[in-house]
Amino acid sequence: MSMRGIVYLVGAGSGDPGLLTMRGAELLGRADVVIYDGLVNPSLLQLAKPNAEIICASKHDRLNRISQSELNALMVAKARAGKCVVRLKGGDPYTFGRGGEEAATLAQAGIAFEVVPGVSSVQAVPAYAGIPLTHRAYGSVVVIVSGHNPPDSPQNRVNWAQIAALQCTVVVLMGLKNLGQIASALVAHGMPANTPAAVISWGTTTKQQTVVGTLDCIAAKAAQAGLRPPCVTIIGGVVVLHEKLNWFEHRTLFGHRIVVVEPGGKSRAVAQALREAGADVIKIRVTRVAPTQQTKLDAAIRRLDTYDWILFSNPAAVEMFFNRFFELQNDLRKLGRIRLGTYGPVTAEKLRELRLEPDAVPTSHTLPLIIEALQSHGNICQQRILLLRGVGAQKPVPEALVRLGAKVDVVECFSMEPDLTDRTGEAAQFTRQGADWIIFCSSTDILHFHVRFNLPELIDRFQHMRIALTTPRIRWALEKLGLTAAVVGDPGDPEQFVSAIASRQVPTPPVKDKCRDENAPLYSGQLDAQSMSAFNQPTANQPIHSIQAKYISVGPGKNSTAPFSEQTANTTTPKSP
């Protein structure tokens, strides 16, 4: 927090979170307070630092409604308290966004402020609907107007007669309610009744809907289609290009709401690929990494020179180790000549973020490949290995290393705990509206998601919702809840994973396992180490599931030569390292 407060009026863009500017993202990460409009994409709030104060300033939410005067007073008060304030506004702050009024209030109060322009719906929404505002064949003049007041209203300040005479592209914001009167006024002042027109609802989002007509019928068509605000209306010859240039609404997964659970290192590539295919990706974090008692880790760090290897089980192990390492040593050279190994490529990427190139990286998170990667650097017999992992992790890797003659010290440097926070409100929205898909990347996330939402009950409530797994290694965790996945992917190929989801667009819910005792209680409630371990570790006494499940297997299997194929197979509970 700076001693002298400042307010940044930041344009968030018109709905697509990818339209936020780099400067806007930077300021969100620095802000002590974020005051956001109701139409701002809630996923942008994840860019704020964890201890930032998040305030909704919606003028349309009945529960959280705040007047403009109250909002102005709030910004001034927070800045006078020495806070760095980001006022996150939909679109562009200075284009029908009252940004000028808010800036004037700050200037009058002597508050320092800056304005960060945003991508306005004026440009973004027509572009996402395939309608260029200018085109040499159709017009080179653009007029932007507010349609908030009817043409015959005393508050109307728009000269509709002058606009009708210009033969230009007209962009009308906030005009859905008065669209019929606006169209009639333009025709009355000489604009041809057959002038092309389009109304775009919720532009640049996966709820985008475009209705095309002409001035004499566009209001009726918009009403018939049930369009709801926010809407942008385009009037002019450029509208005829919509059908040819409409790229956004034709993307493979356009209109699909997909929940990606725990959107961290494991699922970042999948989430990005889904967005590129047009999906509305909802990030819900259900697991948080917490440090454990650090006595053993501290002791290991102080005697690093006695080890030949550090083996990291996952990205959390990398983060926890180096956080503590720099607190105690503060010099990366203290690692000495020790070699670094990982359980898989995702963890390797975490090391590379620290400018450290790992020595042993298996192509997949499986026991034989982990051992092979280590042995590629020579015999590991008598090698001293510091293995960093989470509490309750399974034991195959250290046990296998010991059998090969290695001397292994296992340090459990973190625990995976349920995260019940909902800073962005997306989890609450999900419980109300559901989604088309839920994607899991780890068995821990399946458990914590179930603890928070009761997964089988959720599937019963939203029966069109399907489940996908990024790796077959975690299928057993889903089966414990009596569910199977519609898509099981290859963690190394997110694009094929997305293609498999796209091939299953016909709404079919995940299959419930009828073999399960319907009266058996499902795990829910407080987590402890014993129940966590029981869920995460298949044991010799645990019955192996053998379920006839129809699923899509991504990546070539032993019975498949295609990149991915739909097949019926017996699924068995795999034991993962």
In this predicted model, what pLDDT tens digit does every residue of 535-557 receive, in sequence order?
444 433 333 232 222 333 333 33
Residue intervals in the chain for CATH 3.40.50.10090: 257-286+421-571, 290-416
* Catalytic residue list: 37, 59
CA angle 572, 575, 577 (to 5 degrees): 155
Which class is domain 290-416? alpha beta
Cβ(377)–Cβ(297) below 8 Å? no
Cis-peptide, bond into residue 132, ω within 30° of zero: no
Digit-coded pLDDT (tens) for 104-154: 999 999 999 999 999 999 999 999 999 999 999 998 999 999 999 999 999
CA distances from 556 to 302, 346, 488, 553, 559 (A): 46, 21, 12, 8, 8
Task: Provide the pLDDT for residue 177.
Answer: 95
- Give me the architecture of the 6-119 domain, per CATH: 3-Layer(aba) Sandwich (3.40)
Digit-coded pLDDT (tens) for 361-397: 998 878 899 999 999 999 999 999 999 998 877 788 9
CA distance 94 to 9: 9
What secondary structure does DSSP assign to 504-515, as a single string? T-S--PPPB-TT
Query: Comparing 279-283, 423-427, 548-552, which segment has the lowest mean pLDDT?
Result: 548-552
Contacts of 524 (CB under 8 A, 6+ apart): 450, 451, 454
**Mean pLDDT, to the nearest integer, of 422-449?**
91
**Mean pLDDT, to the nearest integer, of 255-272?**
81
**Mean pLDDT, to the nearest integer, of 151-163?**
93
| 350 or 365, which is more confident | 350
- Regarding pTM above 0.85, the answer is no
Residue 485, pLDDT above cutoff 60? yes
264 pLDDT band, cuts 50/70/90, is low
Task: Provide the pLDDT for residue 553.
Answer: 34
Q: Look up residue 381 and give its two tokens.
A: 């017999």
Residue intervals in the chain for CATH 3.40.1010.10: 6-119
CATH topology of domain 257-286+421-571: Rossmann fold (3.40.50)
**Mean pLDDT, to the nearest integer, of 147-171?**
93
Superfamily of the domain at 123-250: Tetrapyrrole methylase, C-terminal domain (3.30.950.10)
Q: What is the mean pLDDT of the chain?
A: 85
Task: Provide the pLDDT for residue 270.
Answer: 87
CA atoms 81, 86, 89, 95: torsion sign: positive
Residue intervals in the chain for CATH 3.30.950.10: 123-250
CA distances from 233 to 8, 15, 197, 288, 304 (A): 30, 16, 7, 44, 66
| 6 or 332, which is more confident | 6
